[in-house]
Amino acid sequence: MMNVTRLNEKIRVKQREIEENKILIDRLRKAKKSLDDRLEEKKHIEERLEKEKKDVAALKGLSFANLWHSLANDKTERLRDEEKDVLKVKQELDRIDSEITAEEEKITQIQEKIQPSRKMEDGYKQLLDEKKTALQEKSTQVWEQIEVMEGQVEKLLHEMKEIGEALSEGNNALSQSQDILKSLQSAANWGTYDMFGGGMLATMAKRGHMDEAQKKIYSFQNTLRRYNQELQDVGDAYLPEFENDGFMRFADWFFDGFFVDWTVQSEINQVKEQVHQTHQAIENLQEQLQERFDECDKQMRNLLEQEEALVVKAEV
């Protein structure tokens, strides 16, 4: 094992490298966000350009240079103004394209400088482990403090794993409930049309969306069961006031299918409201779970920083 002074120097060098890498990663994140913003802006500009082109249908497909040439000729004032609008939007498009290119080049440059975080952290951890070994052998008091902290970190990691699994199932449930609501809304729309004499086509379309929603509800129920299991694992969180038999009643008339139109419409709206309420309940739970996850993460990072400080500063 290398001497402690040399070990501390290497630890500090590695710390600086990691911090510099974090700065680059943050710059990359901001550059990507900036690129996304500019791509979104380009989308809106292109939409505006299409609108302006529709206003100048006779000029559709002309080049930028040809548009300028057209402006030099004697045309009506109205057409001249419309052509100017097209040119102005095209200039904005050229500007945003230039900015997008610049952001893409910046991202490439930053990516070339960034080092794999895992490799750097593994090297840093190896150095810390070497010093921990020395402390374990020669500084019992510091090592005992570290052991307590590592026990706390282990518990937090376990809790974060459980919460993360619950969050994952919750996100699945939210996605599925939104999908169900879309199918139910489509069924309700066709149902309204059916009630006012939409005929066989409306009935078939309504029933098609109802069948689609029912299949999705079965999958949703399975997801909710898994979600509740995960919620039980994290302790005091639970999904309040959700009754599975509400969906079973829905399934009964789905398969029978002999109710009059207004009864079917009422059932569609009833189940739609139930799914909506369940969706809101899941959103509330997800928010609480995320807060717990973030708090655990904060506590764990604080513990790791304290442990790291003990290791780095300790004398062997």
Q: What is the pLDDT of residues 136-160, one digit of tens each?
A: 766 777 777 877 887 788 788 888 8
Q: Which of 250, 125, 122, 95 is nearest to 184 (CA)?
A: 250
Q: Which of 269, 279, 276 is nearest to 223 (CA)?
A: 279
* 155-306 CATH choice from 1.10.3470, 1.25.10, 2.30.29, 1.20.1330: 1.20.1330
pLDDT of residue 298: 94
> pTM to 2 decimals?
0.56
**Cα gap 75→97, rounded to integer Å:** 30
Q: How far is CA 173 from the centre of its chain?
A: 15
**Cα gap 45→178, rounded to integer Å:** 31
Q: What single DSSP character describes residue 243?
A: -
Q: What single DSSP character describes residue 60?
A: T
Q: For 186-212, what is the mean pLDDT?
A: 83
**Cα gap 251→274, rounded to integer Å:** 14
Q: For 189-204, what is the mean pLDDT?
A: 80
Give the start-to-end residue ranges of the domains of the chain: 4-117, 155-306
Helices (H), 196-239: 199-234
Range ranked top by mean pLDDT from 131-140, 245-254, 290-299: 290-299
65 pLDDT more than 50: no
pLDDT band at 276; cut points 50, 70, 90: very high
* Between residues 3 and 219, the one the model is more confident about: 219
Which CA distances in Å does 35 have to 43, 92, 109, 111, 272?
12, 16, 14, 14, 39
> How many helices (H) and strands (E) in the chain?
8, 0
Average pLDDT for the chain: 78
For residue 42, give both structure tokens.
Answer: 């380009």
For residue 8, give both structure tokens.
Answer: 């501390």
**Cα gap 105→223, rounded to integer Å:** 43
Q: Give strand ranges (E) for 17-94.
A: none
pLDDT (tens digit per residue) in 234-257: 886 677 554 544 433 444 344 444
pLDDT band at 180; cut points 50, 70, 90: very high
Which CA distances in Å does 234 have to 11, 43, 230, 277, 283?
37, 43, 7, 23, 17
Q: Residue 13: which region, alpha, beta or left (left: phi > 0; alpha: psi -120 to 50)?
A: alpha
pLDDT band at 80; cut points 50, 70, 90: low
- Please answer whether residues 177 and 220 qualify as being in contact, where contact means their C-beta atoms are separated by less than 8 angstroms: yes
* Between residues 211 and 69, the one the model is more confident about: 211
Q: 191 burial class (0-12, 13-18, 19+ CB within 10 angstroms)? A: buried
pLDDT band at 26; cut points 50, 70, 90: confident
Long-range contacts of residues 156-159, Cβ cutoff 8 Å, at least 24 apart: 156/296, 156/297, 156/299, 156/300, 156/303, 157/300, 159/234, 159/292, 159/296
Q: Residue 130: which region, alpha, beta or left (left: phi > 0; alpha: psi -120 to 50)?
A: alpha
